[in-house]
Amino acid sequence: MRIGIVNDLQIAVETLRRAIALEPGLEVAWVASNGQEAVEQCARDRPDVVLMDLIMPVMDGVEATRRIMAETPCAIVVVTVDVARHTARVFDAMGYGALDAADTPVVGSADLRGAAAPLLRKIRNIGWLIGRYGSRPTLTPVARPSEQPDSRRLLVIGASAGGPATLAQLLRDIPLDFPAGIVLVQHVDASFAAGMADWLNDQVPLPVRLVREGEKPAAGQVLLAGTDDHLHMLADGTLRYTEKPKESLYRPSIDVFFHSVAEHWRGMAVGVLLTGMGQDGARGLKALRERGCLTIAQDQATSAVYGMPKAAAAMQAAVEIRPLDQIAPRLIKAFA
């Protein structure tokens, strides 16, 4: 895999070069010292992955991400010093299509391999995602429809690349008296999940927080999957975290959660699959449709990355395909 590095600090560039050299099959394609150079480099020589710093002269990493994803889209990972201090900018970049974020490995670390491990893991996962390492086995849990539905109502939403801004726009149009519990699964590391919940809280009317082990969804709140384990619904409607299936590329997996809802939720449910790279969530959405639920996929024109919704459309998992601004009104009508 060919990696583009975007960073204005030479010492950070050298640390990233050394980290990339630790992983067989990775090579540095080019280095850009600011966002404008990165846009130009991607246009001339598109790499497999771009490691994008946030704070740079000429053009920052958020604007560079927007430009690259609009003009020559490729996989982007935000790599900057102390990601937790720049939560809003990270989610802005993810809103434009960045796939993930990681701290820059500690410069001068005696254990560079250990310091670089989180970043290298993310690059490997993206390699699987974009097909550079072949294909991985597909997980297809079998959903068993409930026989005795009740009056409880549930909205489940999955998102990946481009998800934070898309979720914020969708949830802004959901009123405080929305009569269904809402559970979100966004591909984001546990280290960023709390920051994302706080960020969404500043954007939308309904309160947003992380899922607590053993609780049940309830109207009037939005729950966000908050660990690197998978969110799973049990037969009694409670939410749990589980590390299985360990082989799943996506953590947390939208498919795993959607399948568990299709199997165990006794009541009305609606599934929504938003922007994202890959196919996670498409099979789970189909399981919800086969259970008799309304399922909605975001359309191509309004998706930052038309991967997951495209997969759902291809396998006829979505009852409806809608632009983003039409999804919230449809949900309000569905649950009225």
**Would residue 82 show up in a list of annotated catalytic residues for this protein?**
no
* Contact assessment for residue 168 and residue 285, using Cβ atoms and an 8 Å cutoff: no
Q: Residue 187 catalytic?
A: yes
- Among 48, 60, 229, 280, the active-site one is 280
| Cβ atoms of 190 and 256 closer than 8 Å | no
| CA–CA dist 113, 111 (Å, integer) | 5
Give the integer Cα–Cα distance in Å for 22 and 130: 21
Catalytic one of 33, 160, 253, 260: 160
With beta carbons less than 8 A apart as the criterion, state whether 163 and 93 touch: no
Q: How far is CA 25 from CA 20, 76, 127, 129, 333, in A?
A: 9, 18, 10, 15, 50
Sign of the CA dihedral running 238, 199, 175, 333: negative
Is there a catalytic annotation at residue 280? yes
Cβ of 215: how many Cβ atoms within 10 Å? 13
**22-58 b/e (C-beta count within 10 Å ≥ 16 → b):** ebeebebbbbbbbbbbbbebbeeeebbbbbbbbebee
**Which of 187, 230, 232, 259 is flagged as catalytic?**
187
The set of residues, in sequence order, having a beta carbon less than 8 Å from that of 22 and lying 6+ positions away, is 112, 113, 116, 120
| Catalytic residue positions, numbered | 160, 187, 280
